[in-house]
Structure 1
Amino acid sequence: MKDRAPAIDQLGRGGPGGRSGSGASWLAGVPRPEAAYAAFGLLVYLGVHVGLNGTGGDAEPTVDGMATLNQAMVLLLGLAFVTRHRRICTAALADVRPFLLLLLLAAASSLWSQAPEASLRRSLTLATLMMFAVYAHAVLGTLLICRLHVMVTGAVAFASLAMAAIVPSSGFDVGGYAGAVRGVFSQKNSLGDAMVVGTVALSGLVLHRRRVVATDLVCLALAAGTCILAQATTSFLLCGAVAVMTAVILLLIDASAVAVFGLMTGLMAAALALWVVWVVPVDLFEMLGKDSTLTGRTEIWAAVRQAIADGSVLGHGYSAFWLPETPAARNVWAAIGWVTPSAHSGYLELQLELGLPGLLLVAALGLTTLWVVARAWGAGRWATAGWALIVLTTIAIINYDESSLPRPDIHLLQWILAFAACSAGARPCEAVPAGPAPGGSPRQP
């Protein structure tokens, strides 16, 4: 594939071993409106939404007018910028071709969907996210997007803490989690999830820089502290896991002997954790602030599996299940005794909406991602490959008990960007410096 370097990477800003400089010098050459658009898009796909406690936590899912307006702005502004950079954006479509199959399946599901209009509307949202991803990859580059993402994460964390301090009625969650900070999100788990993906973006910067600086530790501490205040235990653990994976990959890149020791230590710790889960699972759940039903998730999963068994092998249609007017959703709500907006499992959500074809397609996307990761690693693009592996691992873990797949959200955006970065040709900013390579063999200049 012919190498195609985004403008930000051609200038080499913030490459491995380099510094971004004072102020916003790393934005030099990037029009401010486009940088602002990218930051706005990240906020939209994070799901920032100032919640109000008036309706409580069990209100049935409804159309969010503000979210619709935000999506329309991302679409319209994106079309203008993509038109401006149409040649490079068109060429960049080759880097994300497998994900276009997901869009095709989502749109096609409207033919058998129990709510065709909802499926078509949500398919447009998915198409908008893919357009944003292609634009970000082709025009701005992954590094700049990661920098903007880290900045946005910090702003979201501070805004959420300020909201909790100034307007407690909106800044704290409701119901059983009334003491948990939710800030500028509709629930506390969304705030924790925002800290996780922000930490993933931070890992991309660290891997490409190939060293850790003081500001990285500050950002990690802010994300972890926000997760604690949000009582988002899973998100807190994931932030730590991302940090550990980043450190291991850094060691594999630049210190193979130490890396072997670190990897063995990590495997021993993982084995110990599995043993603890196997022997004393209830005690572990209590230690994490959860119960053995994973806060009612096991009941949801049982009801959802029944809905899958009762439905078509093609699913109920993209984003067409959790609607107040659908009998299947009401059956699930009646079975569990409360209104849940999702299956709390991305894998079950896939089967609900896109059936067996959706599950197989996403599995194929995962395997294809592993293939391009291996190819990038073999080509000496270790930072890019390592970051893509962290993105894929995070998505796989989160979707065990949260419904990210197949939503057009920040996780899918990161997945597309990581895949595209591995698929594209080597970037000038990823030029391999002289020195030993992983395994002790000399690096190629």
Structure 2
Amino acid sequence: MKQRNLLLAGRPRDALNVTCTANPAKSGSVSLVVYAASACFLLQSMSFFGVIDKLVYGPVSFGRGGNEITVTVNLLGICVSIFLFWTGMRKTAVARFNKVLPLLAASLLLVSALWSVQPMLTLTQGTAYFFVVVGAIGIVQAVDRDDLIDLFSWACALSAVASLLWQFVLSPAPAFDGMEPDFAGIFTQKNVLGQVMAGGVLGALHGLRVGKGRFRSICIIALCTTVAFLSQSSTAMVVIAALLCFDFLGRLYFKGNASRAISICLFISCFLALFWLSANEDLIWEFLGKDATLTGRTQLWLYVIDSISEKPLFGWGFAAFWVPGNPVALQIGDAVNWTVVSAHNGLLGLLLDIGVVGASLFIFLWARNLVMALRCMNGPAQQFGLTSVLLLMTILLIATSEQVLLSPQHIWTALFFMTGFICEKELRLTVGVSRPKITSPATRRAVATSGSRSPLGR
């Protein structure tokens, strides 16, 4: 037995990678309960269960906080996160990734209740955000990475089907009589629906590359793209175009040689073009036949910057600024002459809620995830690394016109933390294989004795 262990210790790195870098979730079958909890977690992360609120209270009252349905859904999300964390920690006693920084970011949102203009709201939303990170820690250990993205794409496809049913079957009247002019489906706004559809395209593209059912993945891409177009969310359409373009360039990159250099140049050019287009959405509004002045974001940003300058270090408190009880927010709404619910910019939203300190931490997390994703693209998990890069580019594009990473029930929040955890786990597994450690004293003595008696050493 000792001789066999010694032979395994001397195996080449590539051979060890086959056995040691596999996802721990594949070492045993994942129970249906864990899959159901994972699906519930993903659906909760994209506000899917808000459709219950919409069915009970109607489209006009949808999204209001404090009612029994909202409280029940939030408590369900917390329980699911705790269960996934417990399940994941049972599979691997020590998580193979850094949990401190993401939990620190989530804790900062929670602690901001101390100086928030709406302490109870910040405490509630901060608690929900904290448990999203806790659930992300557990789910990446309980479920295989490719299965997790596949489940994510199915959740987005379910949201697309449910939105079509809601818009055309369950509640067709509001879409045509002026009560709900936007094609929002089961969600609060058309932009939320559009971003969920963009997430479905991201997950299906990953499934295409790793062989998770070609026909099924193509159908999900077509379905989500169609619903995004019906929603007329310009941000979502730019993001989907970017995902399709960058996915093609990623496939070109993996071919190596001259194709790699060409793909890098094209990637930079396409990203700059799409970034400019995302920041100048008036062109898309004109293409859709709408008045470009309806956006009003440029004027809004000037007022937001003034508010940031009043509390630059720690902000106004997480999720506390855009509430009816804040007179400053009401003044901004009166000035721009429309109801404002967010800063409509990712960076400004971070600075407004948690100041320079919190925004710097989230920017560092984004940059750290990007470095790990690029290392995975050139190392142990190429396809997942590409998916992570696509996600981070998506977040950057959305941040030009929408608030991102600042809601516990937003599609990109949970996915941002999950992909970061998975990339770091894969990199740490690779480092562990390249540096095998012999911890047992008896094994060390056996290796030393074998080395001194080996004919190759004489």
Band of TM-score, shorter chain: 0.7 to 0.9
Residues 1:123 and 2:140 are matched in the alignment: no
Structure with the higher fraction of residues in helix conformation: 2
Q: Could you tell me how far apart the structure 2 residues matched to 1:84 and 1:275 are?
A: 44
Match of 1:91 among 90, 94, 112: 94
Moved more, 325-334 or 33-42: 325-334
Residues 1:183 and 2:200 are matched in the alignment: no
For residue 192 of structure 1, report the CA deviation from its aligned partner: 0.9
| Counterpart residue number, 2:36 | 36
- Do the aligned partners of 2:25 and 2:141 also contact (CA within 8 Å) in 1? no
Residues 1:167 and 2:167 are matched in the alignment: no
Q: Could you tell me how far apart the structure 1 residues matched to 2:316 and 2:343 are?
A: 13
For residue 168 of structure 1, report the CA deviation from its aligned partner: 3.3
| Counterpart residue number, 1:202 | 204
| Counterpart residue number, 1:392 | 392
| Counterpart residue number, 1:72 | 75
- Do the aligned partners of 2:317 and 2:354 also contact (CA within 8 Å) in 1? yes
Residues 1:342 and 2:342 are matched in the alignment: yes
The code of the aligned residue for 2:41 comes to: G
For residue 389 of structure 1, report the CA deviation from its aligned partner: 0.8
- Do the aligned partners of 1:3 and 1:425 also contact (CA within 8 Å) in 2? no
Q: Could you tell me how far apart the structure 2 residues matched to 1:67 and 1:4 are?
A: 41
**1:123 and 1:5, CA in 2 relative to 1: closer, same or farther beyond 3 A?**
farther
- Do the aligned partners of 1:346 and 1:404 also contact (CA within 8 Å) in 2? yes
For residue 333 of structure 1, report the CA deviation from its aligned partner: 1.9
- Do the aligned partners of 2:183 and 2:231 also contact (CA within 8 Å) in 1? yes
- Do the aligned partners of 2:23 and 2:144 also contact (CA within 8 Å) in 1? yes
Q: Could you tell me how far apart the structure 1 residues matched to 2:173 and 2:138 are?
A: 34
SS in 2 for 1:400: coil
| Counterpart residue number, 1:437 | none
For residue 404 of structure 1, report the CA deviation from its aligned partner: 1.9
How many equivalent pairs are there? Answer: 408
For residue 9 of structure 1, report the CA deviation from its aligned partner: 3.5
**1:364 and 1:170, CA in 2 relative to 1: closer, same or farther beyond 3 A?**
farther
Moved more, 34-43 or 81-90: 81-90
**1:115 and 1:143, CA in 2 relative to 1: closer, same or farther beyond 3 A?**
same
**CA RMSD after TM alignment:** 3.4
- Do the aligned partners of 1:8 and 1:144 also contact (CA within 8 Å) in 2? no
- Do the aligned partners of 1:58 and 1:340 also contact (CA within 8 Å) in 2? no
Moved more, 226-235 or 365-374: 365-374
Q: Could you tell me how far apart the structure 2 residues matched to 1:380 and 1:137 are?
A: 16
| Counterpart residue number, 2:4 | none
The code of the aligned residue for 1:414 comes to: L
**1:305 and 1:36, CA in 2 relative to 1: closer, same or farther beyond 3 A?**
same
Residues 1:152 and 2:169 are matched in the alignment: no
SS in 2 for 1:91: coil
The code of the aligned residue for 1:356 comes to: V
| Counterpart residue number, 1:227 | 228
Moved more, 251-260 or 303-312: 251-260
| Counterpart residue number, 1:9 | 26
Q: Could you tell me how far apart the structure 2 residues matched to 1:267 and 1:109 are?
A: 37
For residue 264 of structure 1, report the CA deviation from its aligned partner: 5.2
* TM-superposition CA deviations, 1:144-192 (whole Å, max 9, x none): 22111111122211111111221335773885971x4222112222111
Matches within 5 A, 1:107-146: 107-146=110-149
The code of the aligned residue for 2:253 comes to: L
* TM-superposition CA deviations, 1:200-229 (whole Å, max 9, x none): 2223323434x9823322211111111111
| Counterpart residue number, 1:104 | 107
Moved more, 164-173 or 316-325: 164-173
For residue 419 of structure 1, report the CA deviation from its aligned partner: 0.9
| Counterpart residue number, 2:404 | 404
Structure 1: runs of 5+ lacking an equivalent: 12-28, 430-445
| Counterpart residue number, 1:438 | none
SS in 2 for 1:78: helix
- Do the aligned partners of 1:142 and 1:417 also contact (CA within 8 Å) in 2? no
* TM-superposition CA deviations, 1:57-115 (whole Å, max 9, x none): 79996445433321211212332343344344662273443212211211221221222
The code of the aligned residue for 1:134 comes to: I
Q: Could you tell me how far apart the structure 1 residues matched to 2:261 and 2:281 are?
A: 30
For residue 54 of structure 1, report the CA deviation from its aligned partner: 8.3
The code of the aligned residue for 1:387 comes to: T
SS in 1 for 2:80: helix
| Counterpart residue number, 1:442 | none
Q: Could you tell me how far apart the structure 2 residues matched to 1:92 and 1:174 are?
A: 53
For residue 126 of structure 1, report the CA deviation from its aligned partner: 1.0
Percent identity (aligned): 22
Q: Could you tell me how far apart the structure 2 residues matched to 1:262 and 1:323 are?
A: 45
SS in 1 for 2:426: coil
**1:302 and 1:213, CA in 2 relative to 1: closer, same or farther beyond 3 A?**
same
- Do the aligned partners of 1:300 and 1:332 also contact (CA within 8 Å) in 2? yes
Residues 1:374 and 2:374 are matched in the alignment: yes
For residue 6 of structure 1, report the CA deviation from its aligned partner: 4.1
For residue 310 of structure 1, report the CA deviation from its aligned partner: 2.7
**1:88 and 1:146, CA in 2 relative to 1: closer, same or farther beyond 3 A?**
same
| Counterpart residue number, 2:245 | 244
SS in 1 for 2:254: helix
Q: Could you tell me how far apart the structure 1 residues matched to 2:394 and 2:332 are?
A: 28
Moved more, 107-116 or 255-264: 255-264
* TM-superposition CA deviations, 1:266-292 (whole Å, max 9, x none): 6666677789999x9865651255555
Q: Could you tell me how far apart the structure 2 residues matched to 1:370 and 1:277 are?
A: 21
Residues 1:352 and 2:355 are matched in the alignment: no
* TM-superposition CA deviations, 1:378-434 (whole Å, max 9, x none): 4343222211111111111112111123222220211111111110136999xxxxx
Q: Could you tell me how far apart the structure 2 residues matched to 1:37 and 1:154 are?
A: 18
- Do the aligned partners of 1:160 and 1:171 also contact (CA within 8 Å) in 2? no
- Do the aligned partners of 1:61 and 1:322 also contact (CA within 8 Å) in 2? no
TM-score (norm 2): 0.78
